[in-house]
Chains A and B, each alone.
Chain A
């Protein structure tokens, strides 16, 4: 069954508004969750690592003030795209680790964001 639940699956918003995406760990207490971004027909790029109870770690080139991450509990991380612009339109996917050591990452089904 699903290990990661991501919501919403699709969202359309107007330029300048903010959008919140939720990622829930269903089977594990996830102290760490990861947020990826994927453009059409391209690979996944890690945006940030979400740490429960502390600040997220952002990858180089990712604007932390634009992509706000909150990881308030062991089962929920949220990504808020603030003041969205059309270039933010993309497929956003969260993932969690399935355990310790070299355990696999489980991915959510992604959120298709379209900014008009």
Chain B
């Protein structure tokens, strides 16, 4: 019940295209859903986060869409750039964000 399922495992997108990564969860107690970006050899960096009382959040080229009834949320990267090539993790947590449950990660490659 604590699992967060993430897909796809890997993704190749052309420069300027839209990258979409999906996550699904079971635990309805989750109340905070961050996305992290990780470059090789580095720690994850917070990209954007959403709470379940909001259906969408946009920050620059990054948008989270949240479907509470379906227990799904997704990350959209608009106008994808080669510099966006990284591994993306969705995550979820309850009651203050002390313990993050991470998705399995998506390796994104943006090609010229």
Q: A49 contacts B98, CB within 8 Å? A: yes
Say yes or no: is A79 at the interface (Cβ < 8 Å to chain B).
no
Q: How far is the CA of A49 from the CA of B97 in the complex (A)?
A: 12
Taking residues whose C-beta sits less than 8 angstroms from the other chain, chain B's interface range is 20 to 34
Q: B102 contacts A107, CB within 8 Å? A: no
A104 → B minimal CB distance (Å): 5
Q: From DSSP, what is the main secondary structure of chain A's interface residues?
A: strand
Given contacts A104-B46, A105-B97, whether A44 and B31 have CB atoms under 8 Å apart is no
Q: How far is the CA of A103 from the CA of B28 in the complex (A)?
A: 19
Q: Give the segment of B37-45, B55-63, B65-73, B75-83 that binds chain A.
A: B37-45
Q: Which residues of B contact A32 (CB under 8 A)?
A: 98
Q: Which residues of A contact B32 (CB under 8 A)?
A: 102
